[in-house]
Chains A and B, each alone.
Chain A
């Protein structure tokens, strides 16, 4: 990243931040807000414990990048060989796109225009859809032959029940991205006809969302708010929206005990500031570990004004409300660097051929309870109800499988007594002495079931071996390719017998293309597990004094989010794209086939890698 290489990766309390943005921007439906409130609570807790941020303020946080993770995508549709239902002419097709909800109901997200007399229509109208990595977003497409009486009315008002149904198709949004040209062709189904034609779906990111301004802020002569030491300032940048409210779009890290701080670069994404003239509010706060930060001062500016401030090397003064009127403060804001750059999104990598490779490790320690007893966490219910382990495997596997082309996953167990009578802290779930890999999520489930038959639960709970093995696989893959990133899911019921052993393994793994998701099942006290999750601000430190270079662990207890059903997997996966990007960006690894683009000075009209 140019003349200053950044030490990237650690984020502090990011979840709440993004949710808050989305809530304010109104991109989330109220219903979803309700369901997610549980997760938000969880994260309020997270962000309130970010006092550790004060001990590592220079660690660059990715706040500014976050918008790229929930990009808005535009779907374009075309079809071929549709059924001809009109007697005198050809069908007049229109496509309707639905999002399939968790309970199976369809929610319409948009429809195309009607094209007259065409069995191979290419619709112009685009359907926009917000992409969320952490959920499986099932799309359903219906194609209708629109009756001639409706031809001159707005498509929104067309009653679908009055139209002739031509066919339907469905896919998962992420399937489209994993295709190189971001185009997926689906067969249309119709109960009454054999050949109902084909439907092609092409997705592209809404223009310019890759463009970002990289800005280095500096302040001088800030007011002192602390009693014994100096202020611990950080900046928060918000965009003013039409209603007059401000939507926070990014914030800097905290610089300790300093009235003339320089912050690490922040990235303002075009998606967020919208236009360079849009008013931005910059607020400077004194960080307080209890979460109620003291406002030092605020000011209004815009991206173009910031650009000018950088060019002219001028500063602007903060102001503060004082007895009902604005008081100009001594403290000033300067822009030390202003650069426009392109930030590749997670999907840019994925659609250019990067893959996530999934690995699973299951806890076989005795604290799970005898698998034959219904109270056991490992109890296989003959009625088919999934136990906590099965649930975690399917939910996470469901999302990740779309990013893994060969769908072969490594599956291990730990803390169990295997056939040879010894306790192993990393054995193959399928019982094979050599092959760790199984086929698909079903393969993991089968291996898990057979593992329960052959392996006796034992202990202690140690992650080190499993993490080490995953790191080995991730490290060895680098010989062949840089385009693989590994995700290890560890499901455990208990407290680590030797946390330092796990931490040592995690610290070593932090330098590899690997993320580790830990799901805690059962009723154990997981506070100790949260130490592994660097969200809480602590960078993991090994017994030899080596420190994790980036946050690669995400821990979620299953019970915390069980009420809302869905969010466990979301909370678990939501930092994964950020962790993936922190690895790729720190090494300057670009999506495949885009090297030429990056050297172009102009940033508009970016062509997608094909």
Chain B
């Protein structure tokens, strides 16, 4: 993997797996957690609402998401009943341009932070760069 590959559009295969310990003002959320993943404002996917998992939702949903050229960060947001719990910024360099093979399945976890920067849980996802671009 070479750095110039940053500047090519590609497709990401994303599995939004789960979140842990979701809280709002230090209180565990009751239900209805939903996660959004976006690479830029026109490329956004969202999970279904998890009604049962409470503050430990499991979505396990797969998406294909375009990663436009020059995008350096992907953003994950988790909210419940319209209230933002927290978001995480994922540098593209966490799964492109490191030393792994191009289409390596990356398991990634991030701390979710609200607008004040307070940690409100953890989100788990897997990301794989589709290698169809190279075929």
Chain A's closest residue to B113 (CB) is A545
**Which residues does chain B contribute within 8 Å of A57, judged by CB atoms?**
20-21, 56
Bound-state CA distance A5–B18 (Å) is 9
Bound-state CA distance A273–B28 (Å) is 36
A29 within 8 A of B: no
Which one of B5-13, B36-44, B93-101 contacts A? B93-101
**Closest CB in chain A relative to B120 CB, distance in Å:** 12
A160 within 8 A of B: no
Main secondary structure, interface of A, reads loop
A175 within 8 A of B: no
Bound-state CA distance A478–B54 (Å) is 37
Q: Chain B interface residue count: which class?
A: 20 to 34
Query: Using a CB-CB cutoff of 8 Å, which residues 432-479 of chain A contact chain B?
Result: 471-472, 475-476, 478-479
Assess whether A511 is in contact with B110, with CB atoms less than 8 Å apart: no
**Closest CB in chain A relative to B10 CB, distance in Å:** 18
B32 within 8 A of A: no
Chain A's closest residue to B107 (CB) is A549
**Closest CB in chain B relative to A545 CB, distance in Å:** 4
Q: Mark A1-29, 1 if CB is under 8 A from B, else 0.
A: 00111010000000000000000000000
Bound-state CA distance A539–B108 (Å) is 13
Assess whether A58 is in contact with B20, with CB atoms less than 8 Å apart: yes
A592 within 8 A of B: no
Query: Given A544-B91, A546-B109, A549-B108, A59 and B20 touching (CB < 8 A)?
Result: yes
Query: Using a CB-CB cutoff of 8 Å, which residues 81-135 of chain B contact chain A?
Result: 88-91, 94, 98-101, 104-111, 113, 122, 124, 126
Query: Given A5-B60, A587-B105, A547 and B111 touching (CB < 8 A)?
Result: yes
**Which residues does chain A contribute within 8 Å of B17, judged by CB atoms?**
5, 7
**Which residues does chain B contribute within 8 Å of A127, judged by CB atoms?**
none
Q: Chain A interface residue count: which class?
A: 20 to 34
**Which residues does chain B contribute within 8 Å of A476, judged by CB atoms?**
99
Bound-state CA distance A7–B21 (Å) is 14
A40 within 8 A of B: no
B47 within 8 A of A: no
**Which residues does chain A contribute within 8 Å of B90, judged by CB atoms?**
546
Q: A: which residues have CB within 8 A of B? A: 3-5, 7, 55-59, 255-258, 262, 471-472, 475-476, 478-479, 508, 511-512, 539, 541, 544-550, 586-587
Beyond the given pairs A476-B99, A546-B108, 16 more chain A to chain B contacts, judged by CB atoms under 8 angstroms and listed by A's residue number, are A3-B60, A4-B58, A4-B60, A5-B15, A5-B60, A472-B99, A475-B98, A475-B99, A475-B101, A511-B100, A511-B106, A539-B122, A541-B111, A546-B94, A547-B109, A549-B124
Q: Give 26 CB contacts A-B under 8 Å.
A: A5-B15, A5-B126, A7-B17, A7-B18, A7-B107, A55-B21, A56-B122, A58-B18, A59-B20, A255-B56, A472-B99, A476-B99, A478-B104, A511-B100, A539-B109, A539-B122, A545-B113, A546-B90, A546-B109, A546-B110, A546-B111, A547-B110, A549-B107, A549-B108, A550-B107, A586-B107
